[in-house]
Chain A
Amino acid sequence: MAEDLVLDTAIRDWVLIPLSVVMVLIGILRYFVSKLMRSYQLPDAKVVKEGQVVIRARNLRAAANFIPLKSFRARRTYFSNEENGLLHVPKGQAQNAQAQMFSDPNMAMDMMKKNLSMIIPQTLTFAWVNFFFSGFVAAKIPFPLTQRFRSMLQNGIDLSTVDVSYVSSRSWYFLNLFGLRGLFSLILGEENATDDTQRMMQMSGFGFDPTRSLSAEKDSLDIVQHEWALPKFEQRAEAVLRRLVR
């Protein structure tokens, strides 16, 4: 078995480089297409209100130590009071929102669009690679792998004595698929995947998120222990002002 296969230069020119270039271009294309196709639905007023209440409660929790104990307690009662506290949701309403999310046609369409825009280019490129670039050794990966990876990496090559380091173009495609994510995050500003996850978060906010997060916020607000973090603030202010006056 040959230790060092000599591979045709034409493979470099016509397989590796075009495949990488095509994948980069498809990634850029997908980014722009998803930007163009993004449709902004007008958010529901009630949902926005609930979201803002959650944000207020979270701010209160984060900055609890900078306000005196009494004012913190007053604010906390305002939020988590049993009768008319903002975060208290009666049990009956909790189920409704979840059912509503699944039957909302807009959201289903958006999720489908997002999934399609990810899956279709990948499928097409994979089929293209399989059709044109199968049956020969495409690249050599610089590190050795065990024999078990042979079937995964070398599926076009039917010689079992070839070193596992020599892989077919399908595995070059997969390597590109995972490795170019880092490159995309550099050249496209923010990564493709984070755009999609942001949209997913936006969509899930319409559904069961408000009611569940409201009770979660209420619980975590109840847990907070107040520790007054500015005990000597007057002295500190005095020191700063003296320094300024001097």
Chain B
Amino acid sequence: MAGHEDSGASKKKTADSSNDLPTFNAENLQNNMKIIYYSRTFLSIIGGVIAGILGYTGLTGFVFYFLIMAITSLGLAAKAKFSIHSYFDCWNRLLLDGFLGGLLSYVLFWTFAYDIVHIF
């Protein structure tokens, strides 16, 4: 009982006034997830075009895709000022959500740019 009270009090101290740690504003959370999705999709398209222009083939291209996704995660974390818990409920959402969703768009634009530039 004492342990529960202590943990309850410390959680409230680290949370800011807009949302307590145990509760999340569902609409804001959904909005943030949408933003992550849009950012990843957009960057996977741009990354595909870049990979095609630079002429990456095979494994290098896929490594580049994961690099782009890592940069996206880093950028989003920096935008959230690294205080993930006041914007999302856990780290995994920021890092792994939509990771593979952009892969197909990436491959499409990679193929497109590669063909236009190199096999013209």
Taking beta carbons and an 8 Å cutoff, which residues of A are in contact with B?
A: 5-7, 9, 12, 16, 20, 63, 65, 139-144, 172, 175-176, 178-183, 185-186, 227, 229-232, 236
Contacts and interface: CB of A to CB of B under 8 A. Distances in A.
A7 B114 CA distance: 13
B112 to A, nearest CB: 7
B115 A139 contact: yes
Interface residues of B, number: 37
Contact of B111 (A5, A139, A182): A139
A143 B57 contact: yes
Contact of B44 (A141, A182, A229): A182
A197 to B, nearest CB: 15
Secondary structure at the B interface, as helix, strand, loop or mixed, is helix
A176 B41 CA distance: 15
A231 B61 contact: no
Contacts of A12: 115-116, 120
B120 A142 contact: no
Contact of B42 (A7, A142, A186): A186
B105 interface: yes
Given A182-B104, A183-B45, A140 B120 contact: no
A139 B102 CA distance: 21
Contacts of A65: 22
